[in-house]
Structure 1
Amino acid sequence: MEPLVVVEPLRQRRCADCHRGPLERLVLEFGSPRCLDCADLGHLVFLPRGNAALTRRAREASALWAVVVRHNRQRTRYERQGLLVEEAALARAEAACLADADVRARRRERDAALRAARDVRFTATLTAEILRLFPYCPLDRAADVAAHTSERGSGRVGRTAAGRALDEGAVTAAVRASVRHLDTPYDSLLMRGVPRQEARRQVAQAIEATLIRWRGPERDGAGTGAGAG
């Protein structure tokens, strides 16, 4: 079942029923804004996002709850801001979180250590794969590329499904990106106002020359299918 959705409007809106406004939060019913009181949600309290355990427990304890969203114009999407829950449910959730705070803190520390160990192993594996594809790439450079592209939360190639699977095209794309930024005037071209695609065109030949040199004669001309520039 879809949750109830409450919107934090970006522009001033008034309730279509009681005409109160401007509204901090509203519910859209048949395209018209309703204040929380008129939508029978006025008794709920706001729980900001950020505490996953508290959010989960408050939602589970609340007979009625709603998701609060706000439109992000830059990303052109609605993003969660928190929940509206019953006040008593929030109080029970807060008490439960206080009761086992130490246990959850230790679990977070243990999970963080496990993630860090997995990241170290993956970075080492990715470094080895870069050197397999580009045996003449300097070792420290291969390690830097692997560490940069696999950084947790970065959204870079190494964090994609293809990157985690050591797909040859994804690995080559990570190396190509490193060469583009560190071994060509690409960034300087962008700073001078050169359009991105034109800047890529200007440095494409230099990038491919470096990749060919790093592949060595054994792999020269093999091709990777990852594209140029």
Structure 2
Amino acid sequence: MSARFAIPATSFVLKAMIDADLAAAYQGFAAPKLSIAPPPRPNATPAPAATGANAPPEAAQLYLFLHHVAPNAAYRSMALAYIESSGEASTKMPLVLDLHYMLAATGADLERETLLGIGMAALHRQAIVERSAVAAILGAVAIPANPTKLMERLTSEPLANPAHHPEQIKISQHPLDIDMSTKLWSALQSPIRPSAYYLVTTTFLETDDSVPDGPRVDELVIAARPKADRNGDPASDTVTIVDEPLDDGP
């Protein structure tokens, strides 16, 4: 996809998968929606009536938060510019990324553990999302006739050529140790809650960068060296040089 939509499209597909499993698991009950925002912070100045035993219970909610983006090591050097048979430099140099997500659940009782389990099961069961599934999820969303926001065009963005980009999403659990997990929750300024961490790979950002033409040849240098095969026949003493002017171009 284009650079502006590749990352949010990945989050959109993951969210749609988990939302579908939430609706199926609640079987007619009001299922909590999945949010792509970070887990909420506590109120800075809670109302006097909302403290201690009078505090309202925390709402049950599931969060899928993109907290880190890194270059994909396997593809990092595979998309460098190269010279094609026509003599032109390739212009396709996509930025290939790995996305790191946090899946966290909030709530006042065991429902938060239920939500976390549903979300983890959805990502585990659909660990490889094929190109056809990605296209089906994006294509199922109605597109406004007259979009008023950029993100309303997300689901209409065409996928890249599958001959060059796999356009499939691979999801794997990527546990963090207690030290890194604590630092992440501290950075979010949110109380630690049941959570799991995932690595989603790979996301291709089409940058459409072109390779500039190389400099023109200003000086032609001709050198001679002895023949490598010592047992071979010596070279002829006659050297013929043909001088052809360089084309200066238009």
Whether the TM-score (by the shorter chain) exceeds 0.5 is no
State the TM-score bracket (shorter-chain normalisation). Answer: under 0.3
TM-score by length of structure 2 reads: 0.19
Structure with more helix by fraction: 1
Kindly indicate whether structure 1 or structure 2 has the higher relative contact order, using CA contacts under 8 Å at least 6 residues apart: 2
TM-score by length of structure 1 reads: 0.20
Structure with more strand by fraction: 2
